[in-house]
Amino acid sequence: MMTKEDWNAVYFTVMPILGVGVSAIGVAIGLLALQRSQAQAAGVGSLEPTGYAPLGVNVPKVHYADSQVFVEVRNPREWHELREFIQPANPDVVRIMRSLYG
Amino acid sequence: MDSVAYKLWDWVCQAVQYRSDDGEWWSFPGETIRKLTGDCDDSATLLTSLLRSAGLDAYTVVGSYRGFGHAWVELDGKILETTYTYAHDVPDPQNYRAYAMFNDQEVIEMWPRAIGQLFEVARNECRKLTMMAEAQYDR
Report DSSP letters for chain A, one per residue: ---HHHHHHHHHHHHHHHHHHHHHHHHHHHHHHHHHHHHHHTTB--------PPTTSS--EEEEETTEEEEE-SSTT--EEGGGG--TT-HHHHHHHHHHH-
Higher pLDDT, A22 or B106: B106
Asked whether the beta carbons of residue A58 and residue B48 sit closer than 8 angstroms, the reply is no
Taking contacts as CB-CB distances below 8 angstroms, the residues of chain B near A70 are: none
Q: According to the model, what pLDDT value does residue B87 have?
A: 94
Q: Which long-range contacts (CB under 8 A, 24 or more apart) does A28-34 make?
A: A32/B126
Taking contacts as CB-CB distances below 8 angstroms, the residues of chain A near B134 are: 38, 42
CA distance B88 to chain A (A): 11
Q: According to the model, what pLDDT value does residue A57 have?
A: 47
| B35 has a pLDDT exceeding 60 | yes
CA distance A67 to chain B (A): 9
Task: Tell whether A41 and A87 lie within a shared domain.
Answer: no
Q: According to the model, what pLDDT value does residue A52 have?
A: 38
Q: CATH for B3-138, among 3.40.50.1000, 3.20.20.100, 3.10.620.30, 3.40.50.1440?
A: 3.10.620.30
Task: Tell whether A45 and A73 lie within a shared domain.
Answer: no
What does the radius of gyration of chain A's CA atoms come to, in whole angstroms? 26
| B45 has a pLDDT exceeding 70 | yes
Please state, rounded to an integer, the average pLDDT across all residues of chain B. 92
- Residue A5 to residue A27: CA distance in whole angstroms: 33
Query: Nearest 5°: CA angle at B67, between B65 and B69?
Result: 65
Torsion from C-alpha of B31, A81, A100, B34, nearest 10 degrees:
0
CA distance B61 to chain A (A): 12
**Chain B nearest-CA residue for A33:** B126
Contact B98, B110 (CB under 8 A): yes
Q: Which of A16, A32, A52 marks a domain boundary? A: A52
Confidence of residue B2 (pLDDT cuts 50, 70, 90): confident
A62-73 pLDDT per residue, tens: 989 888 999 999
Taking contacts as CB-CB distances below 8 angstroms, the residues of chain A near B105 are: 83
Specify the pTM.
Answer: 0.76
Distances (CA, A) of B81 to A35, A69, A83: 19, 24, 20
| A7 has a pLDDT exceeding 90 | no
B96 forms beta bridges with: B65
CA distance B78 to chain A (A): 19
Q: According to the model, what pLDDT value does residue A58 have?
A: 54
The strand pair at B68-75 and B78-80 is best described as: antiparallel
| A51 has a pLDDT exceeding 60 | no
Q: B83 at the A interface (CB within 8 A)?
A: yes
What domain range includes position A97? 61-101
Distances (CA, A) of A68 to A97, B5, B72, B118, B119: 28, 28, 21, 16, 17
| B48 has a pLDDT exceeding 90 | yes
Contact B32, B38 (CB under 8 A): yes
Task: Tell whether A39 and A3 lie within a shared domain.
Answer: yes
Task: Tell whether A47 and A70 lie within a shared domain.
Answer: no
**Facing residue for A87 by CB, picked from B20, B21, B30:** B30
Q: According to the model, what pLDDT value does residue B60 have?
A: 97
Q: Is the ipTM of this complex over 0.90?
A: yes
Task: Tell whether A42 and A75 lie within a shared domain.
Answer: no
Confidence of residue A55 (pLDDT cuts 50, 70, 90): very low
